[in-house]
Chains A and B, each alone.
Chain A
Amino acid sequence: MQLSQFVGMYLAESWATLYMVLISSTISYAIGIPLGVILVATEQGGIAPCRIVHGILGFITNIFRTIPFLILLVMVLPLTKLLVGTTLGPRAIIPPLIIASAPYIARMVESSLKEVDAGVIEAAKSMGASNWQIIRMVLLPEARPSLYVGAAICITTILSYSAMAGFVGGGGLGAIALNYGYYRYQTDVMLIAVAVLILIVQLIQEFWMRLAKETDKRVS
């Protein structure tokens, strides 16, 4: 293979990785944030305590977080086929990525929201705020820096999950590493793929950590 072909392959698969991570992170957060909010709101001492809802949601998120991603990937293949019409390529990895990461994100959001001082929530209540107003105007904005830190961790995790896509023909940088390094013993090709993955992780980490720091008003 020519050098230009290699470069082209890395670019294409990097794009495939970013595509998978971006789409699944967005959808996972769209599911994970409301889930995390409900977990916090319904817990004992929360703004809308409800043991049953809290228990059921907590149980479901725990189940999905317990299943190893590789097994989950295979388990949901029929569902994947139904949702995106194929079980091959980057698109096919998105449904299992979402199923695995949304509960993870929900727990992350839950722990960020729990950091918000109960006294501040009480103050909002004393001003006549409704639960919805407390969520929208107190919980989420006050937890914002912590949510960004959580995003750095969650998106990195999604990226590492996406690298396993190679096993089901999912494509991406992980697939390069697997196909060349594992099946063909071309260690150098694998190492470059790993290096690119590390670079992407660093960029994601840096971006969100910096955003968290910039937006946090607690440090003068």
Chain B
Amino acid sequence: MEEGYIIRLINMGKTFRTDSGELVALDDINLDIREGAVQGIIGLSGAGKSTLVRCINYLEIPTSGKVLFEGRSLGEMSRKEVREARRRMGMIFQQFNLLEQRNLLRNVTFPLEIAGVPKREAKERAEELLQLVGLSERSGNYPSQLSGGQKQRVAIARALATRPKVLLCDEATSALDPKTTEQILSLLRRINEELKVTIIVITHQMSVIEAICDEVAIIDHSHIAESGPVSEIFHAPRTEIGRRLILGEGNRNLDFANGRKLRIVFDGRKAREPVISDLVLSCKIPVNILFANTRQVEDEAVGQMIVELPDSGEEAEKVCAYLRSKGITFEEVK
């Protein structure tokens, strides 16, 4: 395995043949995923991210390029070897996909039964995992008796049963409410830290990326628009789609403001300084705050704010010069 990358996608593409012609789902995807990292993959719906995650474990077979897992190309493996590789990659889903006719314990032993692990050993392992996700008392219950968050925790326990190196999460929190989402994300973070499992998170929510990912790839129209460490992309998105995803809902509701707008980004240090007050006091120019929020990104308080600039070009330039002099990251948004 090269340079500690557990998964490498090399010029990977996927084209579906449909009755109405060819549909390019992914084109020329290059992404290296570091062992032990939490890698986020974000995009709007239809961008191709679900296909991308399915190519990683060959549920979808790429039509071009390569997928390397632990240095070996999945395309060069036999069907049996692919199935064995899948056992080293757990997967969880938006709709949980538990077996409705099996109780929780037997849901977790299921992948072990597939792998041919002896019954007793499988049961012990399953009990251990239900303990880990905090559901050991409910091992005799059936999925229909659980809430969404509990179902996802069972699914996580099940995905970890075969001690995988990688956990693929396909919109794993998209069907959950914010509070439950938070619990599931912190469980995933714990799994990453304690069990050293590499986690790949597919989502359309920037908040999920900010909460647990180290690295992020933004996927748009079948391509990777940009990728890198989360804090870097958050501070300075290089693409339109990146900006849109980071601003999220905040940006769409600003149509009432007609003037020029600036997006100001605060890192951990500057979030504690009264930047706007200082700006107004020293420039003697009023600015209109349109949107602001502060979130925690990788243990740092990070914030962003959108302000409307004064109509006069001269005054606007003065504001920009001030921000520049203070070393504050900002950019103009439309």
Interface residue? A218 (CB, 8 A) = yes
Interface residue? B113 (CB, 8 A) = yes
> Does B114 lie within 8 Å of A128, measured CB to CB?
yes
**In the complex, which residues of chain B have a beta carbon less than 8 angstroms from the beta carbon of A127?**
86-87, 90-91, 110-111, 114-115, 158, 162
> Does A120 lie within 8 Å of B97, measured CB to CB?
yes
**In the complex, which residues of chain A have a beta carbon less than 8 angstroms from the beta carbon of B144?**
217-220
> Does B114 lie within 8 Å of A133, measured CB to CB?
yes
Interface residue? A210 (CB, 8 A) = no
Measured CA separation A4–B126 after assembly (Å): 63
> Does B101 lie within 8 Å of A142, measured CB to CB?
yes
Q: Give, as a whole number of angstroms, the nearest-CB distance from B28 to chain A.
A: 25
Interface residue? A124 (CB, 8 A) = yes
- Knowing A125-B59, A128-B84, A128-B86 are in contact, say whether A217-B100 is a contact too (CB < 8 A): yes
> Does B83 lie within 8 Å of A123, measured CB to CB?
no
Number of A residues contacting the other chain (C-beta, 8 Å)?
A: 25
- Knowing A126-B59, A219-B144 are in contact, say whether A120-B87 is a contact too (CB < 8 A): no
Q: Give, as a whole number of angstroms, the nearest-CB distance from A91 to chain B.
A: 38
> Does A123 lie within 8 Å of B97, measured CB to CB?
yes
Q: Which of B63-115 contact A (CB under 8 A)?
A: 82-87, 89-91, 93, 95, 97-103, 110-111, 113-115
Q: Give, as a whole number of angstroms, the nearest-CB distance from A70 to chain B.
A: 40
Contact string against A for B residues 322-333, beta-carbon threshold 8 Å, 1 for contact and 0 otherwise:
000000000000
Q: Closest B-chain residue to A141, C-beta based?
A: B101
Between B85, B93, B158, the greatest number of chain A beta carbons within 10 A of the residue's beta carbon is seen for B93
Given contacts A123-B93, A126-B91, A220-B144, 6 further A-B contacts (CB under 8 A): A127-B87, A128-B82, A137-B114, A217-B143, A217-B144, A220-B142
Binding site for B on A (CB under 8 A): 117, 119-120, 122-130, 133, 137-138, 141-142, 144-145, 215-220
19 contacts between A and B (CB under 8 A): A117-B95, A117-B97, A119-B97, A120-B97, A122-B97, A123-B98, A123-B155, A126-B57, A126-B90, A126-B91, A126-B168, A128-B85, A128-B86, A130-B83, A138-B99, A216-B101, A217-B102, A217-B143, A220-B144
Binding site for A on B (CB under 8 A): 57, 59, 82-87, 89-91, 93, 95, 97-103, 110-111, 113-115, 142-145, 155, 158, 162, 168
Task: List the 8 closest A-B pairs by CB distance, nearest first.
Answer: A128-B83, A123-B97, A126-B91, A128-B86, A127-B111, A119-B97, A217-B142, A128-B87
